[in-house]
Amino acid sequence: MKKLISNLLLIMLSTHLLAQSSIELKVGENLSYRLLSGKEFFDETIELRNENESAKILPSLGLTFKKNISPKSHLGVGVQFTKLGYVLVQYDDARWPDEIVNGQYMPHDTLDGFKMGFTEIYLEIPLIYEYRLLERTKWNIDFGVGISPAYILNGRNYIFSDREGDSEWPINYESGNYNRFQMPLTAHFQMNYSVSDKLYLLSSIGGAFHLTGYFKGINIVERFCRVGVYVGLGLRLNS
């Protein structure tokens, strides 16, 4: 009898949790920023990048499964594809990236300007905890924190030169100079609006700070962060 009761309680508990679970599909745009610091022969490269680099606005797509652990909090796990990058513009009569070694620019004298674009696609596995800050009949606001282990799938460089013409090439991640695995810390606010018992619309804004530096084995310290805005659709399971 005790075993039967315990099994029934487990079934009831799992059913209760499933009834308060949801799946969310989100699309959005990310703005990323990278600030470098270092010393020795990288000084000119770092100064060039920090002074002339600007962020790109690039898309993101994700699917998240969430399960309530209390009336006001829940855990989530998902999969997300994120595209990040920047644009580097330089019109200077004394600098030109004649050679690129391990992602660094080795300039020489020229009278031409250039524009360089850089993009990477990340596969992320977001792990989040959310707490409900405010709840009304039709809508609510959650605050979430977490980590989002990421792997760089691929990346490309693009050069647009007044003299050399356009060119592009893939990044050789196998050269050993890049950290292909990244570990971002994340935080966000999300607002949900119910359109039915099962469906709800969502919008969120959040940011991430990458704990892992992009380069390895060279004397550069990197601080990389991003901000994103998302909209999407959520489905409550067994509601």
Give domain limits for the chain: 22-237
State the pLDDT at residue 42.
57
Task: Tell me how far CA of residue 195 lies from CA of 110, 198, 202, in angstroms.
Answer: 60, 8, 11
91 DSSP assignment: -
Task: Tell me how far CA of residue 1 lies from CA of 4, 6, 12, in angstroms.
Answer: 5, 9, 16
Digit-coded pLDDT (tens) for 162-171: 666 677 777 7
pTM, entire model:
0.76
| Per-residue buried b or exposed e for 34-69, using 16+ beta carbons within 10 Å of the residue's own CB | bebebeeebeebbebbeebbebbebebebebebebe
State the pLDDT at residue 135.
93
Is 22-237 in CATH node 2.40.30.10? no
Based on its alpha-carbon atoms, the radius of gyration of the chain, rounded to whole angstroms, reads: 23
C-beta contacts of 44-48 below 8 A and 24+ residues apart: 44/107, 45/104, 45/105, 45/106, 46/220, 48/88, 48/90, 48/95, 48/105, 48/107
Cβ(210)–Cβ(182) below 8 Å: yes
**Amino acid identity, residue 58?**
L
State the pLDDT at residue 47.
65
State the pLDDT at residue 169.
74
State the pLDDT at residue 217.
63
Under-50 pLDDT residues of the chain:
8-9, 11-12, 15, 17-19, 93-103, 105-111
